[in-house]
Amino acid sequence: MKNLITTTLLILCHGFCLAQLQNTEKKYLNVLTDNKPASSWIEAYPLGNGRLGAMVYGNPNNEQIQLNETTVWAGGPYRNDNAKAAKSLKDIRQLIFDDKFAEAEDLACKTITSEGAQGMPYQTVGDFYIDFVGMEKYSNYHRELNLDNAITTTTYNANGVTYKREIFTSFPDQVIVIRLTASKPNSLHFTTRITRPAKTIVTVEKNNILKMAGITSDFEGIKGQVNFESLVKIVPEGGTVITKDSAIEVVDANSVILYISIATNFKKYNDVSGDAYEQAMDYLTKASLKKYTSLREDHIKFYKKYFDRVKLNLGVTDSVKKPTYTRIKEFSKANDPQLIALYFQFGRYLLISSSQPGGQPANLQGLWNNQLFPPWDSKYTININTEMNYWPAEITNLSEMHEPLITMVKELSETGGKTAQDMYNAKGWVAHHNTDIWRFNGAIDGPPGLWPCGGAWLSQHLWEKFLFNCDTNYLKSVFPAMKGASQFFLDFLVEDPEHKWLVVSPSMSPENAPYMIRQQWKVITAGTTLDNQLVYDLFSKTILAAKILNSDKDLADSLKVALEKLAPMQIGKHGQLQEWLHDWDNPEDHHRHVSHLYGLYPSNQISPYNTPDLFNAAHTSLIQRGDPSTGWSMNWKINLWARLQDGNHALKLITNQISLVEKCDYENINYESGGGTYPNMFDAHPPFQIDGNFGFTAGITEMLLQSHDGAIHILPALPDSWKKGDISGIKARGGFEIIELNWKENKIDKLTIKSTIGGNCRIRSYWPLKSNKPIRLVENSSENPNSFYITPQIKKAVISKQTTNTRKVYAYDIDTKPGEIITFNE
């Protein structure tokens, strides 16, 4: 009897604990938390609606909210093409082919690099402060960023009163909304002020509006032309409002709502004729007419239609109860798989918050920047970083967030036509390694800027978006940019005298140099592997687009001829995939860029099933390059290891990424210190670059689903420790959506897929599957009848039909109709 009672109590206790944990799960699942205010910017929580950004510190005594507006950039419309390039191009190429790299680089820097502006910086609007009276001592402090509703909340007790702040950047109403409440009447007493680390005019307008007006900085000879207006309206319930020259005081209020509206005169990259004050006041007036409950509900509804599309569960432990910074610090030793899921969803949150249709694309820091002159100007670095920002867009069901980047590529194709003509006497359009809001296309920053393939890489996104939506009207809208990028390289490619291959020259493998070229450390060269891969992709995809649209047959024919002459990928003496045209790689080179592995990811030119020899060579290169790396590079490698189907190695890098970096030194940037994660979950490059966050989110998806080489591969790189879990809402190329994917004991338990456009669906699995519809077991390497909508099958320079260490796979074809849902199980 005693044993029975004991057993019953244990069962009841277990049930109670399980229920308690489930309640904990609901409370903390998608929430960043802290038990202290932010003491620095890398601890503050980010909010954004695509246009407005806010970093919330949550200080009880002096609340600080750092402000951004996505069009607040220094300078104004300008060009920076160097017309000397056209005359020197032939000489530079000859010097490169004669192995005179120092002379070639010196001449190129003088005649290709811009003699004018090197790009404008993205700038902070400033900081808004709420200085409270009597909050010096407080207790029971808690602040959080809830990813489920995109709202920050701060609560604490002071003087026997419970205070609460809710802040959000409204998507539909285009203002920042702050609501202050207290548990006792007449308990709110504070003064508001707004500042900027540059000259502005701060005044108090009628109707309790605090106003700051300014203009962005002159920079590198370009006059600042962006006028901005920041308006703060204060609406108290109860109490008294006291207006001063440049501040507003609120005394003894019960609750207060504050609205922050910011706007500029920016209309387009070549047009700053807007009225900043009129636009800011329009946003403010309309928002302040709505009740707070309506503002909040409309904001949440807008946001959740994106965020709620995807759910990920890797398991939950008691670690979720701890502050986020503690979880990051303890991650390498703790059992906290939910932190990975939180990090994944944080990346999706950041993309929704920093890239909305009709606005600017996410820059090097997304939307959030607290400086006038940030590192690398927080521009668009288009030799990897800008592209990485959008790796999660399609696969994590945020296709709409891709639109600002697509628009920027179209705009660069407009500005880049003159650059191609003036600098290289070429048709089409060109962009080098960087651009900004003014859409400059010329080369900047000396040797790193001599890379002319920015347009080629950006153009991949035009096609990539099509692969997921298969919308021919969309494809028709972006085809001119694809066509123009291809036309440029038809004119720019030159024959390598040694191999007679067509190569890009002059160029470089982004930001890296051969470990040794004739005892010189020079980046300039010709025919780098990345360039060959990019041009191959660009030409292949433009040919397919022309075929789909029944357009430009002559262009397609010319591209086909050029394709056959491009330099192939090559395997070097160390068994590596060569980074350069010649076998210059050194196994001791641990540079952060792994540009030659573009063909493995994000491209699909290297596959264990189609090019096993190149697959093995890419594996060797990644091993030689090493794991330690900066933030964005670490996260690129997560994706690469996922493509190599090694989930355990990908998880090792995930663990390296989720390591706490508590300080951010903007003055002494040290790549050797490696990456990690700041307390607010921003990626530590160092310093902060948002591409690492986006690369992480993409990497988790690639571990669970791949669709790049003609099949939807389920759980291709599942780590051994992720024994069970589930994900829903992610998307595959060809118009397929994963409605549900559950796995148990490291293998598929249930799979439900929706076909949005119909056609053949090929599933690849490590385990045999059954379905609710007739399915056909097929050869894994056979051509997919629907691959036209999946991806071009690209094979290059297969030296020997090696085998890989990949697991046995089963491939199934199933016919689908638009809107049809198919289920699979083991």
| pLDDT tens digits, 200-252 | 999 999 999 999 999 999 999 999 999 999 999 999 999 999 999 999 999 99
In whole numbers, what is the pLDDT of the chain averaged over residues? Answer: 93
The pLDDT confidence band at residue 826, using thresholds 50, 70 and 90, is confident
Average pLDDT over residues 184-191: 97
Query: Is the preceding omega at residue 716 within 30 degrees of 0, hence cis?
Result: no
The pLDDT confidence band at residue 669, using thresholds 50, 70 and 90, is low
What spatial distance separates the first Cα and last Cα of the chain, rounded to whole Å?
44
Percent of the chain with pLDDT over 70: 92
State how far the alpha carbon of 333 is from the alpha carbons of 149, 319, 653, 655, 725, in Å. Answer: 31, 11, 14, 9, 21
Q: How many CB atoms are closer than 10 A to CB 445?
A: 18
Question: Is residue 637 classed as helix, strand or coil in its secondary structure?
Answer: helix
| pLDDT tens digits, 17-42 | 334 444 545 677 899 999 999 999 99
Question: What span, in angstroms and rounded, lies between the C-alpha atoms of 645 and 703?
Answer: 8
What one-character-per-residue DSSP string does 313-329 give? Answer: E----GGGGS-HHHHHH
Give every CB contact of residue 402 below 8 A, 6+ residues apart in sequence.
355, 390, 393, 394, 461, 465
pLDDT of residue 8: 39
Question: What span, in angstroms and rounded, lies between the C-alpha atoms of 383 and 448?
Answer: 10
| pLDDT tens digits, 407-418 | 999 999 999 999
Give every CB contact of residue 710 below 8 A, 6+ residues apart in sequence.
762, 783, 784, 787, 790, 791, 793
Question: Is residue 309 classed as helix, strand or coil in its secondary structure?
Answer: coil
Q: Look at residues 84, 132, 101, 59 and name the one whose alpha carbon lies nearest to residue 447.
A: 101
Average pLDDT over residues 116-129: 98
Residues 437, 360: contact at Cβ < 8 Å? yes
Q: Report CA 233 to chain centroid distance, whole Å.
A: 33
| pLDDT tens digits, 46-63 | 999 999 999 999 999 999
Average pLDDT over residues 509-524: 75
Which has more pLDDT, 118 or 134? 118
| pLDDT tens digits, 752-794 | 999 999 999 999 999 999 999 999 999 987 888 776 555 554 5
| pLDDT tens digits, 342-352 | 999 999 999 99
pLDDT of residue 825: 87
b/e map 101-138, b = 16+ CB within 10 Å: bebbbbbbbebbbbeebbbbbbbbbbbbbbbbeebeeb
Question: What span, in angstroms and rounded, lies between the C-alpha atoms of 335 and 386?
Answer: 33
pLDDT of residue 11: 37
Residue 665 pLDDT > 90: no
pLDDT of residue 140: 98
Range name among 14-23, 81-90, 126-135, 645-654 with the lowest pLDDT average: 14-23
Residue 517 pLDDT > 60: no
Residue 796 pLDDT > 80: no
Q: pTM for this structure?
A: 0.95
Give every CB contact of residue 508 below 8 A, 6+ residues apart in sequence.
447, 448, 450, 451, 523, 524, 525, 528
Q: Torsion over CA of 363, 367, 370 and 372, rounded to 10 degrees? A: 50
pLDDT of residue 125: 98
φ/ψ of 709, rounded to 5, equals -125, 45
SS3 content of the chain, % helix, strand, coil (to 5): 35, 25, 40
Q: Report CA 618 to chain centroid distance, whole Å.
A: 24
pLDDT of residue 792: 52
Residue 4 pLDDT > 50: no
pLDDT of residue 802: 64
For residue 708 the two structure tokens come to 């790049």
User: What domains can be seen in the chain, in order of their start residue?
Assistant: 35-74+124-308 (2.70.98.50), 86-115+399-626 (1.50.10.10), 725-825 (2.60.40.1180)
For residue 520 the two structure tokens come to 């010189």
Q: Torsion over CA of 132, 129, 152 and 684, rounded to 10 degrees? A: -130
Question: What span, in angstroms and rounded, lies between the C-alpha atoms of 43 and 64?
Answer: 12
